[in-house]
Structure 1
Amino acid sequence: MKGISSVPVLWGRQINLLKGDAVGDLEEGLNIGESSSGSFALEVNEVMDMDLQPGPALPPASNILPGTGRKPAALASDEKSVGKITYYTNNHLGIGADGIVFRGDFLCDDDNKRPVAVKRIELAKQSYADREVALLLKLDDNPHVVRYFCTEKDGQFLYIAIERCAASLDKCFTKENPFDLRGLKPVMLLQQTMIGLKHLHYHNIVHRDVKPHNILLKDHSDSVTVKISDFGMSKQLADGRQSYSMRSGALGTMGWNAPEVLDESRKVNPTSAVDIFSAGCVFYYVLTGGKHPFGEPYRQAGNIVDGKYNLDGLQKDKHEDIVATDLIEQMLSMEPQRRPSAESVLKHPFFWSLKKQLQFFQDVSDRIVKETSDGPIIQQLESGGQEVVRNNWMEHITAVLRKG
Structure 2
Amino acid sequence: MVIDPIIQYEDLPLLHWNPKKNKIQKIGSVVIFGEPCPSTMNNQEKINAGCPPDDNTPQKLNKTVDNVFSWASAIKQALMPVTPQSSTTPNDLSRQMDMVQLKVPTPGETGHLGVQIQSEQEFSQLYQIFADEILGSGQFGVCYGGIHRKTGKHVAVKLIDKLKFPSNKEAALRTEVEILQKVRHPGVVEFQQMLETPDRIFLVMEKLKGDMLEMILSSEKGRLSERITQFLISQILTALKYLHNQNIVHCDLKPENILLTSDSDFTQVKLCDFGFARIIGERSFRRSVVGTPAYLAPEVLRNKGFNRSLDMWSVGVIVYVSLSGTFPFNEDENLEDQIQNAEFMYPPNPWKEVSENAIDFINNLLQVKMSKRLTVSKSLQHIWLQGYQLWSDLRCLEKEVGERFLTHESDDARWCEYEQQNGLNPVYV
1:262 maps onto 2:301 in alignment: yes
CA drift at 1:222: 8.9
1:87 maps onto 2:129 in alignment: yes
CA contact (8 A) 1:106 1:116 kept: yes
Alignment partner for residue 285 of structure 1, among 321, 327, 338? 321
Report the Cα distance in structure 1 between the residues aligned to 2:225 and 2:339, rounded to whole angstroms: 33
Q: Tell me the secondary structure at the aligned position of residue 158 of structure 1.
A: strand
Pick closer, same or farther for the CA change 1:347–1:270 going to 2, 3 Å.
Answer: same
The match for 2:95 is none
Q: Tell me the secondary structure at the aligned position of residue 337 of structure 1.
A: helix
Matches within 5 A, 1:3-402: 36-37=25-26, 46=46, 83=123, 84-107=126-149, 111-123=150-162, 124=165, 126-140=170-184, 142-174=185-217, 185-219=228-262, 224-237=267-280, 242-246=283-287, 249-264=288-303, 267=304, 269-288=305-324, 290-296=325-331, 298-312=333-347, 321-353=355-387
Pick closer, same or farther for the CA change 1:258–1:92 going to 2, 3 Å.
Answer: same
Report the Cα distance in structure 2 between the residues aligned to 1:118 and 1:173, rounded to whole angstroms: 25
Equivalent AA in structure 2 for residue 228 of structure 1? L
CA drift at 1:175: 5.5
Q: Tell me the secondary structure at the aligned position of residue 103 of structure 1.
A: strand
> What TM-score do the two structures reach when normalised by structure 2?
0.58
CA drift at 1:78: 5.0
CA contact (8 A) 2:228 2:265 kept: no
Pick closer, same or farther for the CA change 1:202–1:176 going to 2, 3 Å.
Answer: closer
- With 194-203 and 39-48 compared, the bigger mean Cα shift is at 39-48
Task: Select the structure of larger CA radius of gyration.
Answer: 1
**How many pairs does the alignment contain?**
286
CA contact (8 A) 1:150 1:162 kept: yes
CA contact (8 A) 2:216 2:224 kept: no
Report the Cα distance in structure 1 between the residues aligned to 2:187 and 2:280, rounded to whole angstroms: 21
CA contact (8 A) 2:317 2:328 kept: yes
Pick closer, same or farther for the CA change 1:157–1:185 going to 2, 3 Å.
Answer: same
Report the Cα distance in structure 1 between the residues aligned to 2:306 and 2:223, rounded to whole angstroms: 36
CA drift at 1:251: 2.1
CA contact (8 A) 1:172 1:178 kept: no
4+ long deviations beyond 4 Å: 35-45, 75-82, 175-184, 220-223, 313-318, 354-357
- With 121-130 and 279-288 compared, the bigger mean Cα shift is at 121-130
- With 114-123 and 145-154 compared, the bigger mean Cα shift is at 114-123
Q: Deviations over 1:236-288 (max 9, x none)?
A: 115xx522321xx3421011010000023xx3x21101100011000111112
Report the Cα distance in structure 2 between the residues aligned to 1:350 and 1:233, rounded to whole angstroms: 29
Q: Share of identical aligned residues, percent?
A: 25
Pick closer, same or farther for the CA change 1:323–1:176 going to 2, 3 Å.
Answer: closer
Structure possessing the higher relative contact order (Cα contacts under 8 Å, 6 or more residues apart): 1
Report the Cα distance in structure 1 between the residues aligned to 2:253 and 2:313, rounded to whole angstroms: 9
Q: Tell me the secondary structure at the aligned position of residue 136 of structure 1.
A: helix
User: Unmatched 5+ residue regions in structure 2?
Assistant: 1-23, 33-43, 50-71, 80-119, 392-413, 415-429
Report the Cα distance in structure 1 between the residues aligned to 2:341 and 2:74, rounded to whole angstroms: 51
Q: Tell me the secondary structure at the aligned position of residue 224 of structure 1.
A: coil
CA drift at 1:88: 2.3
Report the Cα distance in structure 2 between the residues aligned to 1:149 and 1:185, rounded to whole angstroms: 30
The match for 2:107 is none
Report the Cα distance in structure 1 between the residues aligned to 2:312 and 2:206, rounded to whole angstroms: 25
Q: Deviations over 1:218-242 (max 9, x none)?
A: 117795211111000000115xx52
Q: Tell me the secondary structure at the aligned position of residue 355 of structure 2.
A: helix
Report the Cα distance in structure 1 between the residues aligned to 2:201 and 2:389, rounded to whole angstroms: 51
CA drift at 1:39: 8.7
CA contact (8 A) 1:181 1:223 kept: no
> What TM-score do the two structures reach when normalised by structure 1?
0.62
CA contact (8 A) 1:101 1:117 kept: yes
Pick closer, same or farther for the CA change 1:222–1:216 going to 2, 3 Å.
Answer: closer
